[in-house]
Structure 1
């Protein structure tokens, strides 16, 4: 892993967090009553179509049987997360869902250990735990310091299954890359996972009978959907896939802790009167976790370079 590729991966994930954080206000501008699963399927389709001119001549575009099966499983992970999120939206509290979502990086790390794409060590879990505490503190601040809405019922259980599916997505990507089953091109991997995921989500949306509700979409809704498809789906998944080739799943998903931080900054821009000290602990913990993650990566790369230099000296001797 070169210094330049690692730096690009981390910079891309910072951009990923910013784009994901900006997507929530954009979604809020859309008309009410539109079918969320079908909107997600359209977003993924737009993203896949935008990627097609960039990947259609890639030599590894056509996957083998194992690769196609793995892409389908990755698409199923996307379907599981978005399907669970939309199903639980009216059955679980926002605080409960935000609290459960902070488990995704730790889940990704544990699943990565099971598939041997993560190494057992204390440093990364400690960093992920720090980020999780920070994200929880931000959720507490957003709820006004009231955890009364926190509970665990059927809606929360379904959403937690969706969180497991979300955590499994980068783990499968890394696992397939290490076995040579998936393309080395981040664009190709993004294209197939979005295309298959979009198809599965569309089937789930049509099964719920939401097709007729799409007729209420306005031209402004369509423009917002194109923006979300290009940037909040296509570009974000490409950035995540590019980082997955360089970093471990736990490190990649750790940047999700920055999303509530971005949402907090947007909230202060819209409602500056909400700014008070309750946001400070969570903000500091999230920023500390990202700083520790960057420091850990630099330390690992320096140690690897030292080992390589030592091995080269022994060979010359």
Structure 2
């Protein structure tokens, strides 16, 4: 999951290099298609490469979660502030823990809850630093409310994956779970894109855009989904999503490399809290496995 956080954190600067005006949902659908094609050769050697009927239904629900999150994120991008969205997103690990408790894939653990709260405070500190230390009010207008529902869908995805694995609905190997999540999720996101966006806008993609999209599809999507599914067999949803607190930290390091003049004390509190929470989480996981 540390590698997962690094790959996801590096994906944001890569996305920023793409041309403006391209349809984001359709780009995401193409990105998922590239990722599925990258995973497909690995699927051929798997004993459980075809999902069962209950598994296919669960993949459909998981695909709706992916489509709901990406659809809400892109719709809210022009209706909510970046600080509001970052603030709402830190609730994902906490919601994953709560939903996991409801579905029986999380155990009552006050220590885990404390670690999630500590990481959430650190992530909020990094969001505050990114905003330039400006005060911001979180108002649940339509944009924020829809993005919050998207965050609920994002939190539900690893919970459903863990629940399906626990009940034998999903393949035991990570590769089939990765492939079918990408395929079903990509199809549903493409439907949203065709409904909200203009497909002809994809024709404006330059060769560099195609190279960046291929990188995002293979490394930031296929690899991260596979790592996520690998972790699902070993960790709880709350522990898995807690590593998302490292993503803004990785993006911060990239920002410092590009704009060293932005280094300041305001980044320190959030960074310390995030590193502390992840370090305590790793220590707890090592203690559990031993």
TM-score by length of 2: 0.98
Q: Identify the match of residue 24 of structure 1 among 12, 20, 37.
A: 12
- Mapping 1:191-230, distance limit 5 Å: 191-230=179-218
Q: Identify the match of residue 239 of structure 1 among 227, 230, 240.
A: 227
- State yes or no: 1:36 paired with 2:24: yes
1:270-300 per-residue CA deviation (whole Å, 9 max, x = no partner) reads: 1111111111110000000001101111222
- Mapping 1:59-78, distance limit 5 Å: 59-78=47-66
Check whether the contact 1:177–1:245 (CA below 8 A) recurs between aligned residues: yes
Q: Call closer, same or farther: CA 1:299–1:57 in 2, change over 3 Å.
A: closer
Match of 1:120 in 2: 108
Return the offset for 1:56.
1.9
Distance 1:135 1:251 in 2: 15
Q: Identify the match of residue 267 of structure 2 among 265, 279, 285.
A: 279
Check whether the contact 1:133–1:282 (CA below 8 A) recurs between aligned residues: yes
- Mapping 1:46-125, distance limit 5 Å: 46-125=34-113
TM-score by length of 1: 0.90
Q: Identify the match of residue 283 of structure 2 among 288, 295, 310.
A: 295
- State yes or no: 1:178 paired with 2:154: no
Check whether the contact 1:74–1:172 (CA below 8 A) recurs between aligned residues: yes
1:55-81 per-residue CA deviation (whole Å, 9 max, x = no partner) reads: 123111111111000111111111011
Return the offset for 1:151.
2.7
Distance 2:205 2:287 in 1: 51
1:268 is paired with a residue whose SS is helix
Check whether the contact 1:44–1:194 (CA below 8 A) recurs between aligned residues: yes
Check whether the contact 2:83–2:136 (CA below 8 A) recurs between aligned residues: no
Distance 1:183 1:28 in 2: 35
Distance 2:289 2:176 in 1: 27
Question: Which runs of 5 or more structure 2 residues have no equivalent in the other structure?
Answer: none
Detail structure 1 runs of 4+ shifted over 3 Å in the superposition: none
Return the offset for 1:209.
3.6
Question: Which runs of 5 or more structure 1 residues have no equivalent in the other structure?
Answer: 1-12, 303-317
1:225-270 per-residue CA deviation (whole Å, 9 max, x = no partner) reads: 0000001110001101100110000000000000010111111111
Match of 2:132 in 1: 144
2:256 is paired with a residue whose SS is helix
1:113-164 per-residue CA deviation (whole Å, 9 max, x = no partner) reads: 0000001120100000000000001111111111235432110000000001
2:171 is paired with a residue whose SS is coil
CA RMSD of aligned residues (A): 0.9
Q: Which has the larger radius of gyration?
A: 1
Check whether the contact 2:246–2:274 (CA below 8 A) recurs between aligned residues: yes
